[in-house]
Structure 1
């Protein structure tokens, strides 16, 4: 299952983990994802989408949730 927000397109980022000695090892930064049920206002169909916290904020701002 891919960790991608269906609203904003946020996905897993790659960076470095830094120890006390500043030695770099690769790590992943995962988006803060939730499953949310969203109702289509036109058809009335309920869709289950994977959305990040920022995407959830956007949906609330637009009045969809």
Structure 2
């Protein structure tokens, strides 16, 4: 997937640590939703993270 059109949040790479402290690499993806939103006065489908949706940073098109 892409990244959030509002805040730019995207995939990050982290270390997964087991009980025996063996370290392996892991991807953490942002919770992105495809939303119809009003951008510059016109309706567009954009990828938006749920944090931006909950904060009201996106005006949804109906």
TM-score (norm 2): 0.79
> Does residue 64 of the first structure (1) align with residue 59 of the second (2)?
yes
1:1-65 equivalence runs, <5 A: 1-2=1-2, 4-40=3-39, 43=41, 45-58=42-55, 60=56, 62=57, 64-65=59-60
TM-score by length of 1: 0.76
Which is helix-richer, 1 or 2?
A: 1
Dislocated runs of 4+, deviation >6 Å: none
Contact 2:37 2:58 in 1 (8 A): no
Task: Give RMSD over aligned pairs.
Answer: 1.9
The answer to which structure has the higher strand fraction is 2
Q: Which runs of 5+ in 2 are unaligned?
A: none
